[in-house]
Amino acid sequence: MRLIQTEYLQGSVDIPADKSIAHRSIMFGAIAEGETKVTNFLRAQDCLNTLQAFKDLGVPIYDEGETITITGVGAKGLSPAKQTIDVGNSGTALRLLLGILAGTTFETTLEGDASLNKRPMERMMIPLSQMGATITGAFHSEFPPITIQGTTQLTPIEYHMPIASAQVKSAILFAALQAEGMTKIIEKETSRNHTEEMIIQFGGKIQTDGKVIFLQGPQQLKGQEMTVPGDISSAAFFLVAGAIVPNSEIILKNVGINFTRTGIIDVMKQMGANIQIVDNDLMNQSATLIISSSSLNAATIKGAMIPRLIDELPVIALLATQAQGTTIIKDAQELKVKETNRIDATAQELQKMGANIQATQDGLVIQGKTALHGAKVSSHGDHRIGMMLQIAALISKEEVQLENPEVIAISYPNFFQDIKQLVKRTE
């Protein structure tokens, strides 16, 4: 596919719903008692796979167009699936489902697509096994398909997180909601806290003291009405586009600005980006963001900042190619076990376009500012790599061809249409 190029970008975009929250809205609605209504649900394949997974587990879910209605059955009310549950490309669905299924009385097998089945699940298997679930991977490995035999006698644990991971933390919390006693999680660095916030939103109780989380189980949640805010991970591509394409201004509406997710805004401001935050909705944790062309300087991105922008690092690397100086990204080993090895894939593909970028063991080193040129590039089957390369193509003077662009629909089905409606050319 030939990627879109432009002279400048002008206009507004309604950012699609937050994928992390959309997944969790189905999960919490399913294990709560009573009815949950979800509006602005993300109709991307990953989230639709989560919806289907809970239908397979016996949860009545009705898709009424603008609203999805879930009749919760409680964690104890899930039923055995008649077949292996296929979550497609969604690591979030697979990992968090393991935590929910840990407290069931039956055996369930979860699998994904070819990409997900290459991603290790040992980080989930260790704590959930300590809590009493029996978990095995394919051929007794740590890779999907994963089979879990739940138990009604889950034991609370004290668990020191080896890495900052919202997915591992969330899997433990879903199991802890079903365990008798106090579970304590000590985070290495603070990771996104959507699960903690939604436990409270659905009537549960959880305590946080710095990097330590306490949850007393078991707990019964209550169905809610909720609206999913826009996904800042999707907004990130337009934030970078607006900053690096000359003479541009983009307005992004309904963007989720939960503190654990706004690292990209902080880093871009640090690098000199012209970002305005307006119409701040405190209740919904969302706002309108306005980004315009910017003169950028290099930065060092590391430590506690990394979990707050882990999914945005490929497009931040692109941003750094247009910043003066040497940008260093470190402490980002988690990027190696995403849909692809995003450290290597980011470096390889941007190098094809002329970027001065090198992969390291835990991140990237980018020398800026460099002019990007045409090339044949690959998404590596990773939606975020594919979208990053489209943003890079906007500032190339020559044609950029992308292999496997269809993978972008995993999280952003209308991505190319939204880019096209911003594209402006001088007469």
User: Residue 2, CB half-sphere, CA atoms under 13 Å: how many?
Assistant: 5
Is 308 known as a binding-site position? no
Peptide bond into 369 cis (omega under 30): yes
325 is in an annotated binding site: no
The CB-side HSE value for 166 (13 A sphere, CA atoms) comes to 22
- Which is it for strands 286-292 and 274-281: parallel, antiparallel or unpaired? antiparallel
* CA separation for the pair 177, 164 (Å, rounded): 21
The CA distance from 57 to 52, in Å, is 9
- DSSP track, 232-297: HHHHHHHHHHHHHSTT-EEEEEEEE--GGGTHHHHHHHHTT-EEEEEEEETTTTEEEEEEE---EE
> Does the annotation place 165 within a ligand binding site?
yes
Active site residues: 311
For 71, 366, 375, 412, 414, the CA distances from 43, given in Å and listed in that order, are: 19, 35, 32, 9, 10
- Whether 205 has a binding-site annotation, put simply, is no
Please check if 24 is assigned to a binding site: yes
Known binding residue 43? Answer is: no
- 119 labeled binding residue: yes
Q: Tell me whether residue 91 is annotated as binding.
A: yes
CB 148 within 8 A of CB 133: yes
Tally of CA atoms within 13 A in the half-sphere of 32 that contains its CB: 26
Q: State how far the alpha carbon of 322 is from the alpha carbons of 243, 246, 396, in Å.
A: 9, 11, 12
Any binding-site annotation on 192? Answer: no
Which residues neighbour 364 within 8 Å (Cβ) at sequence distance 6 or greater?
A: 313, 317, 320, 327, 328, 329, 332, 343, 346, 347, 357, 358
Angle between helices 45-56 and 91-101 (to 10 degrees): 20
Binding residues for 3-phosphoshikimate, as ranges, are: 19-20, 24, 165, 167, 311, 338
Binding residues for phosphoenolpyruvate, as ranges, are: 19, 91, 119, 167, 342, 384
